[in-house]
Chains A and B, each alone.
Chain A
Amino acid sequence: MAGQTLYDKLWASHLVSSRDDGTSLIYIDRHLLHEVTSPQAFEGLRLADRRPWRIDANIATADHNVPTSLKERSAGIAGIEDNVSRIQVQTLDDNTTSFGIETFGINDVRQGIVHIIGPEQGATLPGMTVVCGDSHTATHGAFGALAHGIGTSEVEHVLATQCLIQRKMKNMQVRVEGQLGPHVTAKDIVLAIIGKIGTAGGTGCAIEFAGSAIRDLSMEGRMTICNMAIEAGARVGLVAVDDTTIDYVKGRPFAPIPAQWDAAVENWRSLVSDDDAVFDKVVTLDAAAIEPQVSWGTSPEMVVGIHDRVPDPAAATDDTTRRGITRALEYMGLHAGQKMTDIQLDRVFIGSCTNARIEDLRAAAAVVEGRQVAGTIKQAMVVPGSGLVKRQAEQEGLDQVFRDAGFEWREAGCSMCLAMNADKLGAGEHCASTSNRNFEGRQGYGGRTHLVSPAMAAAAAIAGHFVDVREFVDTPAPARRAAGL
């Protein structure tokens, strides 16, 4: 019999029951809640006179709607100027208070984007099942945890039963082998993967990211990769447990207590795919061949290397794809054959559950230091992923580096990634964004999003247009001036 994949093991260790047609119940260890996808679930519980099955499995915070300006944040929930947003954030607070669910309030230093604070608190542990009413829950798979993004009906189901109804997915492995070039990051890897397999490439699968380039990444880099598994169509992304995972978890507030630590680590060591495990699909990428990536269109698969050009719809292999490219070019205001480095930008956003951790901010600050945001950029903002990331960055002086260069330094939240608060693009504006989706209207009505890494976003802010961060960083100052940088 063939060995088991990591996904097979996690599935088996959480399986409560199965029906003949394969529909199964799996037990959920951690449920993260936020204000947008939970109110209707709590209302459903109340209407049916149900109680949460296990209170201590739940943790809540507001992130999607919260303002990121200090002015609004300093007055707490009452300070949220948008009435509809304020009611939603207040509703989360009321619901979690009445059911006794632990909540990081909007001025708690532990508040932040759910997918950043779970790992940061050690509330995401290897071997867990983690769910949240948000598709980027795949992030937590970086810990060898089985993490699913779920809908609101499922949020209610998990609250009421501590289980999720699921069918077992297929196993897919994406291997990234070799060494990344300098200034090429986890974000570039995952964009390159999506560019290769497409936004439906992982549909119906749990993707395990493996290979030496993944092993070499920090936990934060692995989270960036798993975060965007959903952009490849996969509800679940995974990375096997190793020393990097265990070292990251140790000492965090929700990590196992010292008396349980050794037993936990012994258990976690088994959270790897067996050598003889069989995957339904395997895709391999050469890390050394990955260039810094920039998306040009309105789907994350519409992405190219910085030295490539905007594609020509005429080269498409089928009608649906051709129409898709044509429509994307029209929406984005780009033309076939245009150089990516010629795209002029209006705004720059460094933040989101994909790229708002301390290493992301360090990478961006290293590019920005001693430079100025281009005069043509209307706004460049840095939104840390959590209050703790913000505090750490300030202790390292990164906030000053950003401010000195002309960036705004904001409070933690989802912010311009999905523009549910006041941080948004105007119609027709181009934005270099470290977020995860470039869909039409995602960052604001008519806004044009280009997905990039934090270092690439920082370089674009300084240049006013996309630029290869490798040339940018390595070029001495006089040559930079001569090159118009």
Chain B
Amino acid sequence: MKAFIRQKGLVAPLDRANVDTDLIIPKQFLKSIKRTGFGPNLFDELRYLDEGYPGQDCSNRPINPDFVLNQPRYEGASVLLARKNFGCGSSREHAPWALEDFGFRVIIAPSFADIFFNNAFKNGLLLIQLDEATVDRLFDAVEHTPGYRLDVDLVEQKILMPEGEAIDFEVDAFRKYCLENGLDDIGLTLTDNSHAIREFETRHRASQPWLFRDA
């Protein structure tokens, strides 16, 4: 996983509540057995005017000019500004894979769905939850300021606005540690907890042997 320390990036606004993971990456692209290459199909049904299929060359497809990410002013955006309950629905990790592959590193919203939230952090994305009034203010600023960029500092847990103001944000200590160091949490679990897991398993097997089919 890519480490995240600090990122200054162009902000793209997606002004829509309850964006579900089916919308982020439609089901036909879930047939892939790879982790990469989902970027061209991010928001496929919003971005293009035709129905996409896996393995297709997307460069010749008809573009929906009304969709925000197709507007030239948001080209190269790495910060996505979204509305409440972003990432609801299916547990597909293809959703953060597609967002990351497209170039996003930060998503700011008033709230996120639980499974998506977990999945995103495991793929080097920083998800920032801010209150609705602040998110409203950012939507307003982005709309009225071409080239609006935010400087997101994970170490200090601050978003620096071009206006000079700083917004503090919360992040779990463990998620922050993994993200700053680009750490694979499987390796961490095995290094720190192998012994504890084995001990737990021995007790668990003794008290509830029916949970172990090889008992």
Q: Which A residues lie at the B interface, using CB under 8 A?
A: 16-17, 19-23, 25, 27, 29, 36-37, 39-40, 43-44, 48, 50, 53-54, 56, 64-65, 82, 84-85, 87-88, 91, 125, 127-128, 133-135, 137, 149-154, 156-157, 160-163, 165, 167, 199-200, 203-204, 230, 233-235, 254-257, 260, 263-264, 267, 299, 320-321, 323-324, 327, 418-420, 427, 437, 439-442, 445-446
Contacts and interface: CB of A to CB of B under 8 A. Distances in A.
Chain B: interface size category: 35 or more
B22 interface: yes
B160 interface: no
Interface stretch (B68-76, B148-156, B206-214): B206-214
Interface in B189-215: 189-190, 192-193, 196-197, 200-201, 204, 207-214
Given A152-B93, A163-B193, A260-B209, A323 B16 contact: yes
Contact of A23 (B96, B111, B172, B184): B172
Contacts of B45: 440-441, 445
A157 B6 CA distance: 27
Given A135-B115, A420-B27, A161 B174 contact: no
Contact of A27 (B34, B185, B197): B197
B64 interface: no
A135 B93 CA distance: 11
A16 B190 contact: no
A299 B91 contact: no
B55 A84 contact: yes
A199 B186 contact: no
Contacts, number: 199
B33 A40 contact: yes
Q: Lowest 9 A-B CB distances belong to which pairs?
A: A256-B210, A151-B119, A39-B33, A151-B93, A21-B173, A23-B174, A153-B122, A135-B91, A445-B51
Nearest to B118: A151
B208 A267 contact: yes
A301 to B, nearest CB: 8
Given A321-B17, A437-B90, 13 more contacts: A21-B172, A21-B174, A25-B189, A27-B204, A53-B197, A56-B212, A82-B31, A135-B90, A157-B185, A161-B197, A163-B197, A264-B208, A437-B22
A299 B200 CA distance: 41
B17 A320 contact: yes
Q: Is the interface of A mostly helix, strand, loop or mixed?
A: loop
Nearest to B30: A36
A16 B91 contact: no
Contacts of B210: 125, 255-257, 260, 263-264
Interface in B80-99: 83-85, 88-93, 96
